[in-house]
Structure 1
């Protein structure tokens, strides 16, 4: 973090519009879809592996977990997200068209807009993975259900397992334009004076004045831009690259302890 510490604004005094501490014995279906962008692949490949205990949601990559898509291999992912959108099978409509080489919808996925803020604040408390080849990430991405142009992303954090240390960790955060020509990609790698495998809280505020990202109450990234359309929140554990040689290395895990979110204008002026 920079030497001149700037503190984040306090959370709104009112109750959060979205709040889940994963205290229920099962994942809340009114909050989460436990598949990663399921329309671009098949259910067995998109389905998350996870369990819930007193520490929260434990995302897992299991030894027998298939690649998310054959075309994206080697890549396995366990993800929860606050909704889904896609067009009919065979179409090119769907959230996060991440490849330019002719993505088509493979699985019919009924539209579900569980929580799709256009502006506001999100606090995410996590413990990152230290397992080889893993990355824990949280991001807000355009739903695209209103327009195919709404593809921008607010990357709250991406934490690679090999950047997590006892006293210091690194992460990437910022804004990604993808194919939204109204935005410019603006990502930064930040140094955190903490062990990211221990519980810590990330915060993002975004709205007409731009985007503000912080960790443990301290601002780590500012951007003058922000997507101005509905966004899904996704939290995901990736295993990138070949599987580990020894099956005893699995499951590979990360934890999500709590997620809170506030919609729109009560926080947008804090930027």
Structure 2
């Protein structure tokens, strides 16, 4: 049965595995090499990238990348990042929470530096290659964060969907990303309405028309290291809600 509502408050000390898949596109490498570093405590999900976490797809990804990400769906072959990729480890199909339209919101805070970022986005389930559009609800690179705010990437990525037009940009907001904020989207057939802390910040007059999975993650780019003492990247998620 398809899950139509989500009200995740992260009780206890484990992830609800009927909803969450704690790996980042493991079919391009393996579950062992793509596993998130995570902990559930104090009614929140903590995603971190400790110094000893290995690179993700180091022999294939053009830029050195480390990532801790959870997602609510998974199909083998999703989100190819280069031409000619071959699946290395086939994964079972997972439909945890994959809505088609609805209002989705994540409350989260992050610790990032100029070499790291965090994001919450919704990606087409890609049971067909064209169903690959992406709704980016919040994407923040640490090198845009300062005492006056941060640039938040918001919008729609077309990828391999011929019916969509790329419509994405990053605008600055008076926002302390180290404090909790609510990032949401109201996704309807005639468009997308994005909000931060309940205030509408952007509207897009187009939308994908197929199921999408939620993806929440923190990323580290070792090539951007400056040699300075940099904090361990961390993303803390206190709740995730979704309704039709």
1:30 match: 18
- Provide structure 1 residue ranges, at least 5 long, that are not aligned to the other structure: 1-15, 87-93, 264-271
Could you tell me which residue of structure 2 aligns to residue 143 of structure 1? Answer: 125
**One of 97, 100, 115 as aligned partner of 2:80:** 97
Select the structure of larger CA radius of gyration.
1
Which whole-Å CA distance do the structure 1 matches of 2:27 and 2:8 have between them? Answer: 25
1:234 alignment partner in structure 2: 215
Distance 1:254 1:149 in 2: 31
How many residues get paired? 239
2:241 is aligned to 260
State the Cα distance separating 1:98 from its structure 2 match: 2.8
Whether the 8 Å contact between 2:40 and 2:46 is mirrored in structure 1 is: yes
Aligned to 1:120: 102
1:7-46 aligned within 5 A: 17-46=5-34
Out of 147, 166, 174, the residue aligned to residue 193 of structure 1 is: 174
The equivalences for 1:51-66 within 5 A come to 51-54=39-42, 56-66=44-54
SS of residue paired to 1:227: coil
Unaligned runs of 5+ in 2: none
TM-score with structure 2 length normalisation?
0.92
1:205 Cα deviation (Å)? 0.9
Q: Which moved more, 1:65-74 or 1:29-38?
A: 65-74
Deviation >6 Å, runs of 4+: 245-248
In angstroms, what is the RMSD of aligned CA positions?
A: 1.8
User: Shift in Å at residue 249 of structure 1?
Assistant: 4.3
Q: Which moved more, 1:123-132 or 1:193-202?
A: 123-132
Matched, 1:176 2:157: yes
Distance 1:162 1:23 in 2: 33
3-state SS, counterpart of residue 63 of structure 1: coil
> Please, what TM-score do these two structures have when normalized by structure 1?
0.83
